Amino acid sequence: MRTADFDYPLPSDRVAQVPRPRGTSRLLVLDRRQERARSVGVRELPALLAPGDLMVLNEVRVIPARLPARRPGGGGAELLLVRPLAGDEWEAMARPSRRLRVGMRLALKRGVAIPRERLGAGRFRVAFEPPLETLALEEVGEVPLPPYIRRPDGVREVDRQRYQTVYARQGRAVAAPTAGLHFTPELLAACAARGVELCRLTLHVGPGTFRPVGVDDPRQHHLDGEDYEISDAAAHAINRALALGRRLICVGTTSCRTVEHAVTVGGGRVRAGCGRADLYILPGYRFRATGALLTNFHLPRSTLLMLVSALAGRERVLEAYRTALASGFRFYSYGDAMLIL
């Protein structure tokens, strides 16, 4: 297995730069029992599911985690929050990393950020004055759009609304669980009316989800762990579904990684509480819970494409991607969706 095995050509104009209205995207259905993928609309999702299925949603909220800043000499800088640390400090990715020094006071729109310790390449432990929780993050931060969505003039109002699921409730994601961006309240209600049970968990999506695999052997790649929380109700629903042989429909790779990690560390059962998902899913992995997956189209050579390939088979997935490209599908976070059954 080589990283190059998960490459594919993608014209830049196929990367969606703006979102379609919720519920109007296209959906490529890849049924592993059939030879060819077929194209429908995402509004047809309920009819593709079965009564008794359990749909798992990641209800994490995306925070305005991108903080523009100025260096003491007047040069620009930027912080991307990763996760909170002890004592009101945060781990953050920073650029330009080589121009930043421990103790430097970076001016924000309000207050200052102070790198306290270098944690690794481009990462710092950062303190805020006043503490970040009192700075009103919405006033000093911006929506952390992925780098392939280009906004030369800054984040648009549509991004503040659309780079968030309609069911986001809690947490501190720095990237949206993008498969969930397609849902409207009406589409969720239609799934429930079909007899599909819904349950929610929280995975705090980190920036590692966009980090490319830079080694020839993907097994040598380091996957950043991400914190998650599973409620008593969600754990009970998942365990009951597994015990009864009902199908789990994971909405997004974030839900999939959370469920698979929780089932693995729980010895076949999900335990309520907090954990840190660091399960690296590659072809050859045996899925213990996921029966189907709703997901967007992923970057070449990415860990997310490898996860999807583990579920449906690399050659089958890449053939489906070729079909999507030939059929005019839009790719990545604001793009169209794929359902693996």
The percent of residues above 70 in pLDDT, for the chain, comes to 99
Q: What pLDDT band is residue 235 in, cutting at 50, 70 and 90?
A: very high
The enclosing H or E element of 77 equals: strand 76-84
Q: Worst-scoring range by mean pLDDT, 42-46, 85-89, 200-204?
A: 85-89
Per residue in 3-49, pLDDT (tens digit) is 999 999 999 999 999 999 999 999 999 999 998 899 999 999 999 99
Distance of alpha carbon 218 from alpha carbon 304, whole angstroms: 12
Q: What pLDDT band is residue 166 in, cutting at 50, 70 and 90?
A: very high
Q: Is the pLDDT of residue 135 over 70?
A: no
Per residue in 313-322, pLDDT (tens digit) is 999 999 999 9
Both tokens of residue 72? 């003491």
At residue 224, the pLDDT reads: 87
Q: Structural domains in the chain?
A: 3-62+160-340 (3.40.1780.10), 66-140 (2.40.10.240)
The percent of residues above 90 in pLDDT, for the chain, comes to 86
Q: How many CB atoms are closer than 10 A to CB 306?
A: 25
247-282 exposure pattern, b = at least 16 Cβ within 10 A, e = fewer? bbbbbbbbbbbbbbbbbeebeeebebeebebebbbb
- Tell which residue, 317, 257, 328, 319, has the closest CA to residue 289: 257
The model's pTM is: 0.94
Q: What pLDDT band is residue 134 in, cutting at 50, 70 and 90?
A: low
Both tokens of residue 209? 């989800």
Q: Where are the alpha helices (DSSP H) in the chain?
A: 45-48, 137-140, 157-162, 185-193, 232-244, 252-265, 303-312, 314-326
Q: What pLDDT band is residue 324 in, cutting at 50, 70 and 90?
A: very high
At residue 315, the pLDDT reads: 97
Distance of alpha carbon 44 from alpha carbon 121, whole angstroms: 45
Q: What pLDDT band is residue 329 in, cutting at 50, 70 and 90?
A: very high
- Tell which residue, 217, 202, 180, 211, has the closest CA to residue 275: 202
